Chain A
Amino acid sequence: MRFEQPKTVNDAVSLLADADGLTRVLAGGTDVLVQLRLGMVEPDLVVDIKAIPGMRDITEENGGFTIGAAVSGAELGEHAKLVAAYPGVVEGMELVGSTQVQGRATLTGNLCNASPAADSVPAMIAADAIATIAGPDGPREVPVADIAIGPGKTSLKKGEIITSFHLPARPANASDAYLRFIPRTEMDIAVASAAVNLTLKEGKVVAAKIVLGAVAPTAVTVPAAADAIIGTALDDASLDAMAKACEAACNPITDKRGTIEFRTKTAGTLAKRAAKIAFARAGGKS
């Protein structure tokens, strides 16, 4: 196994593009190293991106944020402005692992590991986050929603890496929230999850995006659920309608972590609860 720590994005891209055999990008390594130790993968080349300048920076431009690919969960949580603007994205990432894991784990790794249960992904999609990708054919920008295409599979091409994410500037009275269900209180994988991003005007929801995790091969955006709450102040009837729409969008499996029935019902419950939290954060009064 070869290990490289390039100093530029171009070097990283050419290393990966030129490599034969199995490659892995190493961001925080909290998925990669565990998979190595369990013998699940034996890559021929591992490329660590943490030494590339800019990869560990969060920058603010015109009210939006650009987050480098190697920024850790702990660093996200310490960025006061980001936390104020996107509390849902940050809380999704902060649910990942433990204090030790937080020191390393990244949004990028969470997304590119492509687990249907990845905790930071639903809120990123709900926030309309855009990934910037570098590759042999030059850079491109892709909505986060289009990166994961199935369990363990991404749309990235050979030699491509994510260099950063962009979270757009927010209007006033907008916020987000993320909730997951696990049987324990930490160190577990989401059985179902929901992110809600919404904007209020005069106390009513004028824009919303609702994304569910762990209930389908990839995170699911549910426009019908958003429609159910747009124009409302989250009265019980609209919340129930939203939960129903969420349940209808679920396509989960029964496995050791939960049944179809349980995942479906819980996704609806979580969406309701997350919507209420996002609503209150955006200044809504119920």
Chain B
Amino acid sequence: MALDDTKRDFKVIGQRVVRPDGIDKVTGKAQYGADLILPGMLWGAVVRSPHAHAKILKIDASEALKLDGVEAVVTRADFVEQKGDNFADNLDNIMAGKKALYDGHAVAAVAATSQRLANKAAKLVKVEYEILPHVTEVDEAMKADAPVLHEGRKYTGAPAGSGPNVTHYQDYGHGDLDAGFAKADMVIERSFKSEGVHQGYIEPHACVANYNTDGRGETWVCTQGPFMIRDFTAAFNGFNISQVRVTPSEIGGGFGGKAHIFIEPVAAALSKKTGRPVKMAMTRSEVLRATGPTISGHIDVKIGMKKDGTITAGYLGMRAQGGAYPSGTVDMATQAAFAAYDLENVKSEGWNVVTNRPKEAAYRAPGAPLGVWGVESVLDELCQELNLDPMEVRIKNAAKKGTKSSYGPTFDDMGLLTALEAAKAHPHWNAPLDGPNKGRGLSCGFWFNFGGATSVSLQINSDGTASVTEGNPDIGGSRASISMMAAETLGLPFEKVRTIVADTNSIGFNQETNGSRVTFAVGLATIKAAEAAIKVMCGRAAKIWGIDEEAVDWVDGAAVPSGPNAGDFPPMTLAEIAKVAVQTGGPIAGHHEVTADGAGVSFGVHIADVEVDPETGKTTVLRYTAFQDAGKAIHPDYVEGQMQGGAVQGIGWALNEEYIYGADGRLQNDGFLDYRIPVASDLPMIDAVILEIPNPGHPYGVRGVGETGIVPPLAAIGNAVSRATGVRMTKLPMSPPTVLKAIS
């Protein structure tokens, strides 16, 4: 695709316009998942297994149903059994079948006339369990004699001879590792271990389902994927997709965790059974116990380096768990691990194993932070041992256009070297670290980025404004960015465009808001939809002027004759054309449906300064700077916001966040008091430096920026703490007790 557009002077793109959803959000007007109340509405509550692993022998809801105001109970028997792993596993996850597979696994649900009553009824549902031995730790779960989660299930992806819980193996790489290590002046091998971490979105999952007993109805829900909710809700309840209309609410964060199905088909089942609207909202405890943390596990890394900093070979192996159902996220960890480097000899391999933990859900660049943490930690240690500048070593080995990546594809234009050079020249990198117990860490990060199936429609209104309809919930300010791209293309000011996120009946299919895809793919489809409308408008001007359609160009929001030969007419503005649209042939609109390719890889570089209290092991982040290639920053505030948010989540992951399981297999810290995400006062201002190396795959050069920011922090902080303490950190989180133990 031509990149000429990226060199032009943009009028709207690149401005920091006021976010259109901002006022509603700060005044409390915005409607989130739990905000909808309908006449006659019931309230739902889920009965959850207190056991990590148990056979469900019997469910007796008679006591609950005796309560006045308790209207319905559903169990697995109320859902349609599914074929195919994805649908079958998701159904089993949202409503257990023969076994409960983790603490918090749903086994039944009730609907009643108040939340209090529903909660009370849920406690009265008697579930008879036969408790089974459980396993929550990766290496334990991999053993041949481990408790088996899915008896008799054969995993085609597992290597021969694996234990009964191993679901998957995959490797990547090229070259000859042994030859590479032989050429090295130094080889370092380290084993790392991470704990489960949750996305930690502020808004718990919530929905209102309003169905008739005939299977026609609506769901209102906070989600990253209304079409995904629609398809699962229909399948699990035996509805026809066309009868299910899903409207996404405003969303209080998701980070991948809301790209999955949980309570929504359950609310629909309760609604279908009662014929009344049913609201369900999770508590924080339910969110932590039963929705997706990301994968965790053990990572072994071995890297060889020459005295001059050249990496001669790199190996990474990861043994991961993704909860109670098969997961392939480990592949993204192993593919991303070495992606930042141009290597002759590289291999990464990963295993997945099922454990008695909640089903893994996507989390911002799923898997990548872990693989990159391992690699960047060992690289840093090699730099320390060989007395090399960690920045120069990264620059020396950096992948660039034409590099055959460690996971296969050959890279196109990309911004890693630009980001490294910018970091090297930045005052942060060059500032002295004064005082003892301080350290500076550096890390690169990579994410694939994604395009995906996308539909946009755009109408030109009679007053010269434009309305854009899209189907991807706006998590990071995308309605503003999409309006900006529409305005830029049409030649309108930003204020004359409004973008809404529509329900699933009002727009064509869209994949979820994930994979850093929305500004890229929805933006691309918006530009195409605007171009389609422009074509119509040029046609109308041609008709009015009585000249050929091809002889009309679109310049600065107006139709103009393409040259002196075309005729001499003054420009006809969008508003003028729109005003007479009905008389000149009908309403003017454009739409575009595409599976967008060319998302373009994304790289970032982070620098962290920390101070470690040698007497308590507590780490304070003193200064933090993130560099990232945005291709073209449509709305720089939102790009910075993504970089800062990613960095902060990564810092939380690095320092304090962890799923803590007791010996009984129950989650010990199912609240934000003990599941410690960072609070504002824990952090310095995260400095965000945007770099713009246009993505050839997008008309304006856009590259997704949503995920890469969480990839470098684990190693940036880990390397900083290791340098501050003089001890290499290999365990996450680097919480005070862990660090104190390591240094004393």
Contact = CB atoms under 8 A, between A and B. Distances in A.
Given A257-B674, A259-B737, A262-B740, A184 B616 contact: no
Contacts of B329: none
Interface string B704-744: 00000000000000000000000000000001110011001
Contacts of A262: 617, 736-737, 740-741
A185 B677 CA distance: 11
A265 B736 contact: no
B679 A186 contact: yes
Given A266-B616, A269-B615, A186 B736 contact: no
B681 A185 contact: yes
Given A266-B615, A269-B615, 10 more contacts: A183-B656, A183-B676, A183-B735, A184-B682, A187-B673, A188-B673, A191-B736, A256-B660, A256-B669, A266-B736
The 7 residue pairs across chains A and B that have the minimum distance between CB atoms: A262-B737, A185-B681, A256-B668, A269-B615, A256-B660, A256-B669, A185-B682
Given A258-B737, A259-B737, A261-B741, A186 B681 contact: yes
Contacts of B615: 265-266, 269
Interface string A162-187: 00000000000000000001011111
Residue from B615, B668, B741 with most neighbouring chain A CB atoms (10 Å): B615
A257 B736 CA distance: 10
Contact of B618 (A39, A183, A189, A255): A183
Interface string B663-674: 000001100011
B678 interface: yes
Interface of A: 39, 181, 183-189, 191, 255-259, 261-262, 265-266, 269
B569 to A, nearest CB: 64
B736 A184 contact: no
B310 interface: no
Given A256-B668, A259-B737, A265-B740, A188 B676 contact: yes
27 contacts: A181-B618, A181-B736, A183-B655, A183-B676, A183-B736, A184-B656, A184-B681, A184-B682, A185-B679, A185-B682, A187-B673, A188-B673, A189-B673, A256-B660, A256-B669, A256-B674, A257-B674, A258-B737, A259-B737, A261-B737, A262-B617, A262-B737, A262-B740, A265-B615, A265-B740, A265-B744, A266-B736
B397 interface: no
Interface in B634-679: 655-656, 660, 668-669, 673-674, 676, 678-679
A255 B679 CA distance: 22
A181 B741 CA distance: 16
A31 B672 CA distance: 16
Interface of B: 119, 615-618, 655-656, 660, 668-669, 673-674, 676, 678-679, 681-682, 735-737, 740-741, 744
A258 B618 CA distance: 13
A39 B668 CA distance: 17
B67 to A, nearest CB: 16
A269 B737 CA distance: 14
Nearest to B614: A269
A179 to B, nearest CB: 11
A252 to B, nearest CB: 12
A181 B736 CA distance: 10
A265 B660 CA distance: 22
A95 B273 CA distance: 50
B616 A187 contact: no
Nearest to B652: A184
Contacts of A183: 618, 655-656, 676, 735-736
Contacts of A186: 679, 681
A100 to B, nearest CB: 14
A266 B615 CA distance: 7
B681 A181 contact: no
Contacts of B681: 184-186
Contact of A269 (B616, B669, B741): B616
Residue from A183, A185, A188, A257 with most neighbouring chain B CB atoms (10 Å): A183
A39 B119 CA distance: 9
A185 B617 CA distance: 14
Nearest to B681: A185
B437 to A, nearest CB: 14
Nearest to A185: B681
Nearest to B735: A183
Contacts of B741: 261-262
B269 to A, nearest CB: 25
Nearest to A262: B737
A184 B678 contact: yes
A266 B673 CA distance: 20
A187 B740 contact: no
Contacts of B737: 258-259, 261-262
Contacts of B618: 181, 183
Contact of A181 (B616, B673, B676, B679): B616
A190 to B, nearest CB: 12
Contacts of A185: 679, 681-682
A274 to B, nearest CB: 13
A184 B656 CA distance: 8
Contacts of A184: 656, 676, 678-679, 681-682
B71 to A, nearest CB: 21
Contacts of B660: 256
A266 B488 CA distance: 59
A184 B615 CA distance: 16
